[in-house]
Amino acid sequence: MKKKLSVNGVQHTVDVDPSTPLLWVLREQLALTGTKFGCGIAQCGACTVMIDGVPIRSCVLPLASLEGRQVMTIEGLAPSDEKLHPLQQAWIEHQVPQCGYCQSGQLMSAAALLARNPEPTDAEIDGAMQGNICRCGMYGRIRKAIKSAATSRIAQSELHTFDKTDEASDE
Amino acid sequence: MKLHTIITAFLTLALTAASLAKAPSDVDATSSSASEAEALAAWQKVYEVFSHPRCANCHVPEDNIPRWSGPSYGLTQGEWLNHGINITGGESRIGAESIPCMACHQSTNAELPHAPPGAPTWRLAPVEMVWWKKSSQEICQQIKDPKRNGGRSLQEVADHIGHDALVQWGWAPGPGREPAPYSSEEVVNFLESWRVAGAPCPAPTE
Ligand code: FES
Ligand code: FES
């Protein structure tokens, strides 16, 4: 069945069973493989994307529920090819990733947090990030990187990246 | 003899009159205690449902932590865990302050074992409607109190049980989870029999 889907501001039409989890549509239909499969049952956070600014586990989100909603994946987080999102910049500065497998999910949860709460406390960071599991145990660096992104001037002006909904199309 | 007959007749009449006068109230008393017993039996079934893990796990107190209890989690009666990965519903009771419930709980049940259940809205019940570890009497009093039942009459409470999508989920909780007992129609009927009999609450338990 053909379904329309808006990902990172681009309209796509995909032809899959509407019960297919968004994760597999992203990875297999749209070749957006930055979003990772960890558990497939909403337990690890590796597959986190933003839907209308809210962090959601794409492994359990059926495509059918996405009509008219805006999906943002890790590929859409940077404002342009030349410029990283303040969180991505902070991730590099603090050398957050080890194996890296959990990191696109971590970044999407962190970006959703800063979009609604530009200056989170440690407790608020822990609360928002506790559903993203890191096998390499990088939790301390993740928290530091979020704090430094939040306090940077760049962050203050560029956190609301979800306004970037230019309706380009792949059709 | 004549006097004796008259006295006997008078006494008989008086006793008959007394017994006639008494009879209706005895009948009333018997039927009202029978109907109170029936009402309490109906309430007990409602309590069985409200205190079942499918309901009570999300009717939690001010700590805003959803519970995991019941045989679906391999736990016996009285055992429980906090929801995994340190989840809290926050004061919003929808997780708005940290991780929204809807990050994992979608509008339908996920089909894989141990994957999250879902309903069109997924949230903790308002904090004034706490059922977790509450006695039958405490829940009974809460459900009758419009300040703590969402401003509903008892008929509206029954209607809510019969129609609300998240309540309905309790009887269709997806793979690996034990449904709430009875059916929503039966619970609506239990509530109605209890209401028309005056909605009595049980005595407090020790
Ligand atoms: S893959 Fe979706 S939460 Fe683990
Ligand atoms: S960096 Fe390896 S799992 Fe998080």
User: DSSP readout, B113-128?
Assistant: TTSPP--SS--PPPGG
Cβ-defined contact of A61 to B106 (cutoff 8 Å): yes
In a domain? residue B30: no
Ranges of CATH 1.10.150.120 domains, chain A: 86-158
Nearest to B103 among A56, A62, A65 (CB): A56
- Reading the block at residue B175, the tokens are 């793979």
Confidence (pLDDT) at B15: 39
Residue B7 within any structural domain of the chain:
no
How remote is the CA of residue A166 from the centroid of ligand 2, in Å? 32
Q: Which residues line ligand 2 (CB under 6 A)?
A: A 97-103, 134-136, 138
CB atoms within 10 A of CB A93: 13
How far apart CA B72 and CA B42 sit, in angstroms, is 26
Answer yes or no: CATH 3.10.20.30 is held by domain A2-76: yes
Q: Which ligand sits closest to the CA of A42?
A: 1
A54 touches chain B (CB under 8 A): yes
Hunting for tokens 């660096």 — which residue is that? A141
Question: Are the Cβ atoms of A41 and B85 closer than 8 angstroms?
Answer: no
- Among candidates B102, B108, B114 on the partner chain, residue whose Cβ is nearest the Cβ of A56: B102
Nearest to A35 by CA among A8, A69, A83, A74: A74
Answer for the pair A59, A42: CB distance below 8 angstroms, yes or no. Answer: yes
Residue of A42, A54, A127 lying closest to B88 (CB–CB): A127
Alpha-carbon gap, residue A105 to A38, rounded angstroms: 10
Whether residue B104 and residue A131 make contact (CB cut-off 8 A), yes or no, is yes
Whether ligand 1 lies within 6 angstroms of the CB of A44 is answered as yes
Report the C-alpha gap between A52 and A39 in whole angstroms. Answer: 23
Cβ neighbors of B72 (< 8 A, separation 6 or more) are: B53, B176, B177, B178
pLDDT at position B32 is 61
CA angle, A41 then A138 then A40, to 5°? 10
Please give the residue that has the higher pLDDT: either B3 or A68: A68
User: What percent of chain A shows pLDDT beyond 90?
Assistant: 86
pLDDT for position B64: 98
Half-sphere exposure of B53 (CA within 13 A, CB side): 21
Range(s) for CATH 3.10.20.30 in chain A? Answer: 2-76
Q: How would residue B205 be classed by pLDDT, with cut points 50, 70 and 90?
A: confident
pLDDT tens profile B3-52: 444 444 444 434 343 333 333 333 344 456 668 999 999 999 999 999 99
Residue with tokens 């209308």: A52
- Sign of torsion, CA A89 A94 A99 A104? negative
A86-158 has which fold? DNA polymerase; domain 1 (1.10.150)
What's the number of domains chain B is made of?
1
The overall average pLDDT reported for chain A is 91
Query: What count of other Cβ atoms lies within 10 Å of the Cβ of residue B23?
Result: 10
Atom of ligand 1 nearest to the CA of A37: 1
pLDDT of residue B34: 61
φ/ψ (deg, to 5) at A91: -60, -40
b/e per residue B124-151 (b: at least 16 CB within 10 A): bbebebbbbebbbebbbebbbeeeebee
Residues A72-84: tens digit of each pLDDT: 999 999 999 999 9
The H-assigned helical ranges of chain B are: 2-50, 53-56, 136-144, 154-163, 165-169, 184-196
Q: Is A53 on the interface with B (CB under 8 A)?
A: no
Taking only the tens place, the pLDDT of each residue in B146-186 is 999 999 999 999 999 999 999 999 999 999 999 999 999 99
Q: Does ligand 1 have an atom closer than 6 angstroms to the CB of A154?
A: no
Taking the centre of ligand 1 as the mean of its atom positions, its distance from the CA of residue A36, in whole angstroms, is 8
Amino acid identity of residue A56, one-letter, is I
pLDDT at B11: 40
Tell me which of A21 and B25 has the higher pLDDT.
A21
Chain A residues lying within 8 Å of B99, measured CB to CB:
55, 109, 127-128, 130-131
Residue holding tokens 């696109």? Answer: A104
Say what the pLDDT of residue B19 is.
39
Residue A160 scores a pLDDT above 80: no
Tell me, what's the pLDDT at B30?
47
pLDDT tens, position by position, B108-152: 999 898 899 999 999 999 999 999 999 999 999 999 999 999 999
Please state, in angstroms and rounded to a whole number, the distance separating the CA atoms of residues B99 and B83. 13
Q: State which residues form the domain around B72.
A: 37-196
Please name the residue of chain B whose CA is at the shortest distance from the CA of residue A60. B110
Q: Is residue B4 part of a domain?
A: no
- Indicate whether B118 belongs to any domain: yes
Evaluate whether residue B26 is within a structural domain.
no
Which residue carries 């509008």 as its tokens?
Answer: B107
Which ipTM score applies to this complex? 0.82
The one-character DSSP state at B103 is G
Using CB atoms, pick whichever of A48, A55, A60 lies closest to residue B115. Answer: A60
Q: Measured on CA atoms in the order A151, A154, A156, A162, is the torsion positive or negative?
A: negative
What per-residue confidence (pLDDT) applies to A86? 94
B188 found inside a domain: yes
**Ligand 1 binding pocket includes A9 (Cβ within 6 Å):** no
